[in-house]
Structures are given as structure tokens and as C-alpha cells.
């Protein structure tokens, strides 16, 4: 049961974070990475793209909660 939850969590992580990180990685690498069709693959470029997407989400959430405002 826990293995199924791990696979489901990985699927949701890729489904949400990859599209958010994709434009940033494409711009930074001048279109070289991530490779076409690597959305749900286990390649390192797909994992890095998802990690960048997660970082963007976390920073956006922190900005929305005014965590960067000096009081």
C-alpha cells in the first residue's frame, strides 16, 4: 500500500511541478533541456525540471504570504 502511495505522490509531483519548471529550464538552457517527451520519465533532466518547478512554487507561495516583506 505504501509503495502505491509513493508512486501516486511521484506522479502528482511530476504532473504539477514539471510544467511549472519547464519554461524556466528551456530558457536557461536555450532549448536544449528537457528533452521532448520526458515529462513522466525518470531521466535526470525531468527530475531537475520538476525540482525547479517545486522551487518556483515554494517561492511564489512565500511571496504570496508576504514572507519577504521587512517589518
* Domain locations along the chain: 2-64
Which residue, 20, 21, 39, 23, is CA-closest to 31? 23
Q: What is the pTM of this model?
A: 0.85
**Predicted local confidence at residue 36, as pLDDT:** 85
Q: Are 45 and 35 in contact (CB under 8 A)?
A: yes
**Predicted local confidence at residue 17, as pLDDT:** 95
**Predicted local confidence at residue 18, as pLDDT:** 94
- Alpha-carbon distance of 31 to 1, in angstroms, equals 39
Per-residue pLDDT of the chain (71 residues; tens, 9 = 90+): 889 998 999 999 999 999 999 999 999 999 888 888 888 888 888 999 999 999 999 999 999 999 999 87
Amino acid at each position: 500500500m505504501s509503495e502505491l502511495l509513493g508512486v501516486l505522490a511521484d506522479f502528482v509531483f511530476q504532473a504539477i511541478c514539471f510544467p511549472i519548471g519547464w519554461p524556466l529550464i528551456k530558457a536557461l538552457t536555450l532549448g536544449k533541456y528537457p528533452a521532448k517527451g520526458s515529462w513522466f520519465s525518470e531521466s535526470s533532466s525531468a527530475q531537475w525540471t520538476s525540482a525547479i518547478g517545486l522551487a518556483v512554487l515554494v517561492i511564489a507561495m512565500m511571496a504570496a504570504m508576504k514572507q519577504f516583506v521587512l517589518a
